[in-house]
Structure 1
């Protein structure tokens, strides 16, 4: 299945692998689980936003921009990858970030993605308070860039514009091609839902390809009542502007609040369990904000009997593992490392 797509850059390695989670499936005694490794890409640290940026940065270059401006949380995977793409293309990059937890460390002390933002040489990092309207702050920084004589290109939260969503139409077509090659379909595809573009692109692409797989979104940012209408609007816009997925219906958008906990970027015991489970059983690193919570939501659905034992369920790994380093205290208890052998070497 093909569609007339705009020109894009190349930030993916190619078709990302689909791997069985045999040990996890056996442990959970639920459906047959698989994982699509969209944590693997050519940009620094990898992650799903690379697919969206292939289209967005190509558009920025076509329009003669010299500066990418985007927004997100202070541990934003999207911000890191936007910055990496900017550096690859010789562009400047300004990041407008806020701390959704209200207790994050400053730019000079933080680890994880914010450390990588500094390492990658962000031209400007603006740290805003917890309740900042990031969309307005993004607009303000674009205006400031223009006033300074720059040619800015604004990339919305998560890259989830209609153009950015085409990255996950691509992913959906990869999944459909995999189904054809193995002559077996997935019953469900489970994905973390933050800004919503990943899920919207998947729904549009799968419907366009004729796949029968149902997409289930696990909310990590907003609740079902808010997310489902937003995603459905994106699906409709993809169909209107790019003639992709016109057969999708509103019922195709199904989100769950299992896994969300008290809110975005706030830890839960279920998230800790999910991250440790995939690390110890599969050697795969999830992250505490998106994939950890989404896989926790998937586990909750399994335990609640949502799936049949014969179902085949594909989990989309959207990346984000650098954030683990900022939140080590969420996972490592002080007594877990007390039995290590003493070293004969002393580090001064």
Structure 2
């Protein structure tokens, strides 16, 4: 990771503070020793205090900023039954004094009581959100937009957040995170050879790519493991979002296709469906470092990092950073799968 002479200025974009400051970067000494040869670090985006913590708060700072600038009184967003983004949208809305409605689909083929009634869905209710429970075949965003129009007809001002909060506005949260990582890397005198993340709706990956490009750092530094769709689809989706985010930062900034590095080896049978490698990764991180990976995003992405280390795809002595995206409540929803 090279020193950057470029500057990333997001001050023109409205922002509502939801974080307590930069999340720490911590070494994983026992796990590094166990795997051998590579120095593993984690960026603890799971540690944010609001709503149980998680990476979606970075996006929600900018989404809520835009919503409040437009005088919204209601947030609506979409996701699967155990959506981390939905849970944190509900928490952020509560913090800002807004009404919140969640349009959640049963898109993941799990029908046990833990998945349907535990985990994030418990917290959605505690945060005061109104949940619309839709079948897996439903078009959640279409429903959300229709619901928004109905509420607007009643005089409400409604802001609709997309899946995962991954609009160009939401992705700015991870462009800002790129600058945060770069500053921490320099302060720690620890250059990272690779930054590994999960790729679901693509917003975290797209924001980091756009942010590093704006900072003059090669965005191929970031590698994602897709947990939502096949690599070709995830790559095209992330590239589109990275370019839209880049234009929001600097109209002259363009992201080329090779900048988006995505691996589909950990997807398994699909989104939210457990894999043996995910189970091993969750248990290894917990038993060696006392840290909790979620079963849907970080668990699969960290499984990919473990596989790469074991296969010798990182040079001995490399410093590799993994972004822990949060989602701990999902462990309770997936109790029977762990």
Match of 1:4 among 3, 10, 13: 10
Larger CA deviation: 58-67 vs 2-11: 2-11
For the 8 Å contact 1:185–1:211, the answer to whether it is kept is no
1:277 to 2:284 alignment: yes
Please name the residue that 1:340 is paired with.
none
TM-score by length of 2: 0.93
Largest Rg, 1 or 2? 1
- Deviation per CA, 1:148-191, whole angstroms, max 9, x where unpaired? 33211000000000010110011100111112223332111000
Please name the residue that 1:164 is paired with.
170
Match of 2:295 among 288, 301, 317: 288
For the 8 Å contact 2:190–2:319, the answer to whether it is kept is no
Q: Structure 1's 240 and 2: CA in aligned 2 closer, same or farther, altered over 3 A?
A: closer
For the 8 Å contact 1:3–1:244, the answer to whether it is kept is no
The 5 Å alignment of 1:59-98 reads 59-98=66-105
Deviation, 1:212, is: 4.3
Deviation, 1:306, is: 1.8
The 5 Å alignment of 1:195-234 reads 195-212=201-218, 214-234=221-241
1:42 to 2:45 alignment: no
For the 8 Å contact 1:39–1:48, the answer to whether it is kept is yes
Larger CA deviation: 302-311 vs 237-246: 237-246
Gaps of 5+ in 1: 332-348
Deviation, 1:244, is: 7.6
1:138 to 2:114 alignment: no
3-state SS of the aligned residue for 2:173?
helix
Deviation, 1:235, is: 1.4
Deviation, 1:29, is: 1.8
Deviation, 1:304, is: 2.5
Higher relative contact order (CA 8 A, sep 6+): 2
Q: 2 CA distance for matches of 1:12 and 1:97?
A: 25
For the 8 Å contact 1:258–1:300, the answer to whether it is kept is no
Please name the residue that 1:177 is paired with.
183
The aligned length equals 330
Please name the residue that 1:298 is paired with.
305
Larger CA deviation: 238-247 vs 316-325: 238-247
Match of 1:259 among 266, 269, 292: 266
Q: 2 CA distance for matches of 1:309 and 1:244?
A: 39
